Amino acid sequence: MTLLERLDRLGGAVGSLEQDGYRWDTGPTYTALPAVLRDLFRKSGRPLERELELVPVEPMRRHRFEDGVVLDLPSGSRAGQLDAVDAALGGGAGRAWVDYVHSFADSWDVLRRGYLERPWSPEHADREVRDLLRSRATQQRTVRKTFRDERLRALALTHAVVDGHDPRNVPAWMGLVDYVEQNFGTWTVPGGLGQLAGTLTRRLAERRVEVLLGTAARDLVLRDGRVVAVDTVSGPVDADVVVCAVDPRGLPALAGFVGRTMPALPPTMCHLGLEGDLPDLPHEVVLHGDPTLVVRTAGATGPTDPTDAAGPADGAAGGRAAWTVLARGRLAEDVLVALARRGLDVRGQVRTRVDRSPASWRSPGAARRTACCGRAAPRWPSGWAPRRRCPGCTRSGRTWPAAPGCRSSA
């Protein structure tokens, strides 16, 4: 097995950034499917528990709505969410919320068995899976019909908005993300989920996987209609099967498969190294409105040398903290100013900062998730996928549109 990586490190979206003694996750900061990680490590060698510590995130997320109401939403507990939503939004709101979330139990079961746990094949997919993936119901319409309370609507659309999608184009069944979080909880690694990249890199070396860093793929090489190699900046690499986990728009052989889609725009992101008197915040805080601001507080401070016995500190330590602020929507001012307007003024505590604009994410070949495109998305389940049009190639990752208006299953 050979792994081609454009960058000088492995990890893709899972990684970290260090500066001036602070470290931030550059991608996801938690997972709602810890069983997937445990299964991966168990089947490839030592169990995950011998490599990294997974801890539950509690509360999962704090929501601050435009009217000032604050909701600390628990993870992994239907009863806990019912009580929390009732306490924050009033009697009856909790029941409405948990009933909405539970309505995706069947969708989760259908997609888990027929789509998420095995490679997609139209020939072997049952009718339930095909009908669900082809459904035209949108999350926006479903949420508006279900809730009258604008705060519950904002709560239900959080993932779509934060991921950069227009809820009018997101399939209704994507509400199953809330179902997964409520049932399995959210989990992270003390000091940042980005440490997972280093752990997986070591595992690849142990399994003797050949890793070629700094090797960007330029295209797929086809012979007699089948993929036989990957054309890279260093020359062709022969292959029996290719798993494509990059943006297909950058590979001429695959670009036509996603011609009717567009990449989701990344958020404006600001990594902050803070020191001083800081508010005590949970793992993630969502400040609803326009723009929507997301504050993630799980960065690490202190020594960044992995051989240091003390290791990096998780979250705030000694009055120091590493925050990441994401902005979605109409942001017409500095992120720190927008944050201060929402009641979190840390301008006087900033010791270092790293700004990442949407344009900075658009390097050639960089993987970008596919935006939900509604009716404009290609109908994968109804007839074609790369391994049918392009034998020898299997897709993977969130850059591929797996179904009308949906993100990839992997």
**pLDDT, tens digit, for every residue of 116-175?**
887 777 777 888 998 998 888 999 999 999 999 999 999 999 999 999 889 998 999 999
pLDDT of 111 over the 80 cut: yes
pLDDT given at position 398 = 60
Q: Of the ranges 27-41, 213-227, 302-316, 319-333, which one carries the lowest mean pLDDT score?
A: 302-316
Q: For all residues of the chain together, what is the average pLDDT?
A: 85
The pTM is what? 0.87
Cα gap 151→144, rounded to integer Å: 11
pLDDT of 409 over the 90 cut: no
What is the per-residue pLDDT across 208-253, written as a single tens digit (0 to 9) for each?
999 999 999 999 999 998 999 999 999 999 999 999 888 888 899 9
pLDDT given at position 315 = 52
Q: Compute the average pLDDT of residues 13-17.
A: 86
pLDDT given at position 378 = 38
pLDDT given at position 201 = 92
